[in-house]
Each structure stands twice: as C-alpha cells, then as structure tokens.
Amino acid sequence: MSEKKDEMALDDVLDTILQKNMDELHPKDDEDEEELAAHRERMMVERAKKEEAQSIPLDETDLKVDPFEVDTMEVEDKILEETAVQIAQDEEVDQDAAKEEEEDVRVIEVAVGDKEDEKFTSKDLMSMLMYVGVILVLTFCIVHFVGQRTRVSGSSMESTLSDGDNLIVDKLSYRFHDPERFDIIIFPYQYAEDTYYIKRIIGLPGESVRIDYDGNIYINDELLEEDYGRETILDPGRAAETVTLGENEYFVLGDNRNNSSDSRFEGVANVDRKIIIGKAFVRIFPFNKFTLLGDK
C-alpha cells in the first residue's frame, strides 16, 4: 500500500516537472500533450531500470533533478565563469590605466617640483647675495667708521700692552668729541707705508710740553701727575726744550718710556689730529687679559 502511494506521489512530481518544462518550451500547446505523456513514460522506464541496476530506492529528491534545469545551470555557470573572467580583465585594464595615470601625475609632480626647486634655488641665491652684500657693507662701515681689530707689534707700550695683544680700535668716538689726555691712540707712521704707531696722549692742542732730565713731565710749566710710565724717562729728546703744540696737534709717549719712538723724536714729532685713526677701546686677546682700556 505504501509503495502504491509512493508511486502515485512520484507520478505527480514527474507530471509537475514535465509540465513545467513543456510550458517553458511551448506554453499552452495542447498538441504536445501526447508527446509529454510519452516522454513521461520513457523517463519512468529509465528510472526503473536505474533503480534495478543500482539497487537504490527512488525518492522525491532524485525526482527533483530536472534535465532542463541541469542544462540551464551549466549554461549559467559558464556565463558566470565568462563574466568573472571579463570582470578580472576589466579590473586589470583599469589597474593598468590607473597606474599609467599615476605615473603621469608623478612625472608632472616631479617636473613641477623641479621648477619649484629652481625657483627656490634662485630665490635662495638672491637672498644669500643680498645677505653677503649687507654683511660687506656693514663690515666696511664698521672697519672705516666704527672700529677695527688691531694687533700690537713691539714693546713700546709695556706694561699696559704687550707684543701680540689684539685690540678693538674705536674709530667713531672722535667724530663726536676731541681726543683726551691719556687716550691710547693709533696713527700711521709717516716714513713707512702700512706702518702704524700706538701711543698715549700726553699733551693737548695749544699746550706746552717739557721734560726735564729727571724724567718729570711739565704741561704748561706744571708737573703732570701720572703713573703710566714703566720707568723714569732718561732721554727727554726734543722735549728738553719746551714744545708748543699747534691747534690740532698732540704730544704722545709710549708707556715703555725708554724703549719708545714717540713725540720726543723728529721721526714722530707732534701728531696731527687728522691722521689719528682712533683710540684703543678694548683688549680682546689673550682672553685672560681681556681689558677695557681707559683712564686708571
């Protein structure tokens, strides 16, 4: 009884599948009903033979496998496979195009970067030239109008200054006021090119200077009180007789009084203000002897 019911259920399923396939191929065609019935009988016979050969019971799951549906699935799989291949190819093409575009952009960026570097280099060069120009102008102004570095050569200013001392010469102050007594000044030696003397001012314009043989210095016949000299003057030179200074003349001595060529001798004589370069302002070297130079 159960087998009977299974067979009837199988017939219903087969009818449904066959009807569906035939409707899809020839919808609502009454002339094909006989062909449909014959086809159904053939399928029943084939399935019965298959059961006998394999000894596998027939169930509804097997009946649901439609040959038309299998063919459709194979076609769909093939279409899907071809579609996937096409999509992969399209993506590869898109990636190549994107890569080429990126390379083009990179080339453009590099070219633009090169131009920017050129502009920056030119701008930087101009800035550097302007900076160097400003430094040169400032250096020129400082050296010629403000101050300059000078190195002491010799011992005529011992013990205030020593051979090898490095000084900064103030060239600006005398543009605003006259040189003062006891200033240490720098001026050129008139008988030798590029030779400069450094001495201390003792006599001022309009004054009379005299030195006796005891080494005493008189300014306008009054004894000058000072202790810059390293030792007592032994040779008063031309100052043994009173020396009267002109309107712009100065009388100078070295602190190392007996080892100095100064206003006592004709080679130096009186120093005109117009040749005075400036006054020694500070000793910067040696570092352990850094000193501001001025009145004691």
Residue in 199, 260, 263, 279 annotated catalytic: 199
Token pair listed for 92:
């590869």
CA distances from 283 to 170, 172, 176, 260, 273 (A): 12, 17, 23, 20, 23
Q: In this structure, which amino acid lies at residue 161?
A: L
Exposed e or buried b per residue across 242-273, where buried means at least 16 C-beta atoms within 10 angstroms of its C-beta:
ebebeebbbbbbbbbbeebebbbeeebbbbeb
The answer to whether 274 is a known catalytic residue is no
d(CA 112, CA 109): 5
Backbone angles phi, psi at 252, to 5 degrees: -125, 150
Residue in 156, 171, 263, 279 annotated catalytic: 156
The answer to whether 99 is a known catalytic residue is no
Residues 251 and 219: beta-carbon distance below 8 Å: no
d(CA 269, CA 246): 12
Assign 3-class secondary structure to 145-189.
HHEEEEECCCCCCCCCCCCCCEEEEECCHHHCCCCCCCCEEEEEC
**Active-site residues: which are they?**
156, 199
